[in-house]
Structures are given as C-alpha cells and as structure tokens.
C-alpha cells in the first residue's frame, strides 16, 4: 500500500473522540484502515472546557486507530461543532471586464480569494466557502462555468464561520496531543457525507445529527448545502434531565436511558416498573419508577429539541426549500421512538441513517454514532488536496506532518488534488498564498 495515500479524521465529541484512518483506492472507493474510540469529558456542548482531558482523550483515540491500522498519524482533519457555528448564503461579484472572455480555472481561483476576503470582513473565523452556483451576466445558477463566456461573474456561496477562541481551544487540544490540524471540517457537513443519499441531496433534505452535546443541522436541495447550524442540545441533556428528576448519578441515568428509555411513552404500560438507585436524602435503597414516567421526561426533551430545530429552519432563504424529508443520525438518534416522534412533529418522511458500508469498516462502526467521524474522512478525501497524514521524514530524519497543500478549491467544489494546468498554475499559486484554510 502507498502510505502517502492515507489520511485521518478526528471527531472530537462531547462524550467520545473517534479517530478514523483510511485512503481512497485507485478505483475511487474508500478503504478504512483503522478506527479508534475513546471516552471524552473535556467538552461541554461541543466546546472545549478542559483542554488537558480533551487532549488525553484524543491521544487515546489516535493511539487505538494507529495500532489497528499499523500506521503512525501525524496530521488529521478535525471536526468542529458548537453553537458558535454560523452560516450564511452570499451573492458576491467576483469578476468584471469590459468585454466577454472565456472563464478559466485562473478566474475561479481568483474568485475564491475574492469571496473569502469579502466574507472575512464580516467577523468570525472563516471555515468553509461552499458553492451554490454562479450568475454569468444575465444567466443565473450556472453550476460550473469553465469554458463559458461572460463579462461579469457573481458567485452564490454558502459560508460557514465560527468563534475564533473556541476554534483555537480545539486546535490547541489536538496539537497538544501531537497531531497537526491539517484542516477543520464543520461536523454537519461531515455527517451529511456519510449519511445522505444523492437523491435526498437533490430533492431536498434536513439532516439532524444528534450527538452527545450538540445537534448539528444541514439542509440540502439541488445537490447543494443551503443551510447549516448547531444547537447546544444533545444526548447529554436527555440524561441530565433524568439525573435532576430522580436525584441519581449520571452513569445510572445514562444506563437507564439507553436500556429502558423511549420518547414514545404512550406505548409503555403504566404498570411497567423500573428500579433506580437514588442519591436523595432519606432513601436507603433503590426507588421504583414507571417506564411511562421515564418516557415522558425523555419525550419532553425530544419535543423541545425538535421545536428548536424547527426554529432554526424558519429562515427566509429556506422559504421555498422542501423540508419535509428528515434524516436522523448520531448516537442520540438511536433513542427508542425518535424516528416516530420526528415523523409526528415534522409531518414528513423520516429515516435513521448510519454510515454506509466501506471496505475495512467493521460492522460495529456502521452505526449512527459514527456518521460524523466516517463522513469527515470521506469529505476530506473528496474535497481536499492529496497529502499524507502519516508524516514525511525530513532531512534531519525527524518525522514532520504530511499534508501537501493546505488549500483547496472550496469555491468551485471540484477537487484540485494539488494539480493545475500549466496555463493556470501561476494564478493558482497566487491564490494558495493568499488563502488560509
């Protein structure tokens, strides 16, 4: 195997860190070499609160994935979540000339720089600039204008930003673990890569990745992402509700939720009882609750979550976008009854999605809880330039992070793979120097 083809992705979640190592085969299929999972308690609602604990969890996850793949990881794509993530859809004029001319890759390279510079002026740290289409003179929504003629080019893009301090805390935790951050990938985009079908993206779909501390939202239509957001609510909040209601430990509440919880208590018998250890004063042994009581608490939290999601979808640019198809993924999506409740709340088609089978991917990881980690690797392989994440020996004999160009043509959405034609190489080189990924 060619080691330089291997890349890694690290999903730093509120409850666990998942590291995935894989490569793209010559036939464009993806092969997974190793997966590592480690518990994590250094984050709150997707934000690093305890850097030392987060670093320790990252080290353990990377070590396990490296051992399983028999490869040493020096760089990785890193997933980013948290309620500080914001998105916007922009129209920007990126080219104007006195006469019509042929649109070249050099024009699009320069357009990418223009969009990023304009978007950066509005504050926040720029993370992604993803194309939705172009307007050439009076022709709108041209998907790929290479070779066409125009005087003016306007770009329609989906721009994602985050809070610089939150991003820096995550970057610091990863690099303290001895891993270079090759690129940051916003997790709603990553999860969509693993969970959605082409038909869903084309026809219109809302992806909800319900994680441990956040719920990531991504809306697609016409094959393009048109909206992304993150809510600071996830499985942790469901469990914490039980802790508060029954005065029990978090571990006890988590086990109760996973083994007996449901967000459709209507189907549970009032007489179906459960025993739970309580920490409340005056109780020497376990207390008895009904399964319906448990379910009612979980249902109320799920309804609140879906209400918040609907609020995030009530935006002007989604007014004409079909949002009656919902795809649930993430560990929280596995809670009994979530799919049925979502179908009732959203009054549409709902399914629960896991990462599709890939060569080398153990069946236990074909689970909604691993959509973000698997999707991050897939998105990076398909949208970022070639470059080893395994480390390249330097002249001194020390290993240095691989990664090739830390640049990609996010504006056009087509992989450059670090290659440009001789006629466009100079313009692309200038663009790389000016773009910070």
Do the bridges between strand 349-352 and strand 325-329 make them parallel or antiparallel, or are there none, so unpaired?
parallel
Residue listed under structure tokens 């909604």:
368
Contacting residues for 51 by C-beta, under 8 A, at least 6 apart: 42, 169, 172, 173, 176
Contacting residues for 381 by C-beta, under 8 A, at least 6 apart: 7, 22, 23, 24, 30
SS (H, E, C) 263-294: CCHHHCCCCCEEEECCCCCCCCCCEEEEHHHH
Q: Which mean pLDDT values do the consecutive 10-residue runs of the chain (437 residues) have?
A: 75 96 93 96 92 97 96 94 89 85 84 87 88 81 82 88 94 96 93 94 95 95 90 95 94 94 83 86 82 95 96 86 90 96 95 95 96 96 84 40 35 36 37 31
Question: 7 pairs with which residues across the strands?
Answer: 22
Of 155, 427, 181, 188, the closest CA to residue 330 belongs to 188
Distances (CA, A) of 135 to 139, 427, 435: 5, 22, 23
| CA atoms within 13 Å, Cβ hemisphere of 427 | 16
Q: What is the pTM of this model?
A: 0.84
Contact indicator for 37, 234 with CB cutoff of 8 Å = no
Distances (CA, A) of 119 to 132, 134, 167, 172: 15, 17, 18, 25
Distances (CA, A) of 178 to 17, 56, 73, 269, 339: 15, 11, 9, 52, 40
Query: Exposed, middle or buried by CB within 10 Å (0-12, 13-18, 19+), for 212?
Result: buried
What are the structural domains, with CATH classification, of the chain? 1-84+163-196+356-404 (3.30.420.40), 86-162+405-434 (3.30.1490.110), 236-301 (3.30.420.40)
Total count of residues recorded for the chain: 437
Distances (CA, A) of 277 to 280, 295, 387, 407: 9, 18, 52, 53
Contact indicator for 274, 260 with CB cutoff of 8 Å = yes
pLDDT at 4: 58
pLDDT at 411: 36
Count Cβ atoms below 10 Å from residue 213 Cβ, excluding itself. Answer: 24
DSSP per position, 223-274:
TEEEEEEEES-SHHHHHHHHHHHHT--HHHHHHHHHHH-BS-GGGS-TT-EE
Maximum distance among all alpha carbons in the chain?
Answer: 86
């Amino acid at each position: 195997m060619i080691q330089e083809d291997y890349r890694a992705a690290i999903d730093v979640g509120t409850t666990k860190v998942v590291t995935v190592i894989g490569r793209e085969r010559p036939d464009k299929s993806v092969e997974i070499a190793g997966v590592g999972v480690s518990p994590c308690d250094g984050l709150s609602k997707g934000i690093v609160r305890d850097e030392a604990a987060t670093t320790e969890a990252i080290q353990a996850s990377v070590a396990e994935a490296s051992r399983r793949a028999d490869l040493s990881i020096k760089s990785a794509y890193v997933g980013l979540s948290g309620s500080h993530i914001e998105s916007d859809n922009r129209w920007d004029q990126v080219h104007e000339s006195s006469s019509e001319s042929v649109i070249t890759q050099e024009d699009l390279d320069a357009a990418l720089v223009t969009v990023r510079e304009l978007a950066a002026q509005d504050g926040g740290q720029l993370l992604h600039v993803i194309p939705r289409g172009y307007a050439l003179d009076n022709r709108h929504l041209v998907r790929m204008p290479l070779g066409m003629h125009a005087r003016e080019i306007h770009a329609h893009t989906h721009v994602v930003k985050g809070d610089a301090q939150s991003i820096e805390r995550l970057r610091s935790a990863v690099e303290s673990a001895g891993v270079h951050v090759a690129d940051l990938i916003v997790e709603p985009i990553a999860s969509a890569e693993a969970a959605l079908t082409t038909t869903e993206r084309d026809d219109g779909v809302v992806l909800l990745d319900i994680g441990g501390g956040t719920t990531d939202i991504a809306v697609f239509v016409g094959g393009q992402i048109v909206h992304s957001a993150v809510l600071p609510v996830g499985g942790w909040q469901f469990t914490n509700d039980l802790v508060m209601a029954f005065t029990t430990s978090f571990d006890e509440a988590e086990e109760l939720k996973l083994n007996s919880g449901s967000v459709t208590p209507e189907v549970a018998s009032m007489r179906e009882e459960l025993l739970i250890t309580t920490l409340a004063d005056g109780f020497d042994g376990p207390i008895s609750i009904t399964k319906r009581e448990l379910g009612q608490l979980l249902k109320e939290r799920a309804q609140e979550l879906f209400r918040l999601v609907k609020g995030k979808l009530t935006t002007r640019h989604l007014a004409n976008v079909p949002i009656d198809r919902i795809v649930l993924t993430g560990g929280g999506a596995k809670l009994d009854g979530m799919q049925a409740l979502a179908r009732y709340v959203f009054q549409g088609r709902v399914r629960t999605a896991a990462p599709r089978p890939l060569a080398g991917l153990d069946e236990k990881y074909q689970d909604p809880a691993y959509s973000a980690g698997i999707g991050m690797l897939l998105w990076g392989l398909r949208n970022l330039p070639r470059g080893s994440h395994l480390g390249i020996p330097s002249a001194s004999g020390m290993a240095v992070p691989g990664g090739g160009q830390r640049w990609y043509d996010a504006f056009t959405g087509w992989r450059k793979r670090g290659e440009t034609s001789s006629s466009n190489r100079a313009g692309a080189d200038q663009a790389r120097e000016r773009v910070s990924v």
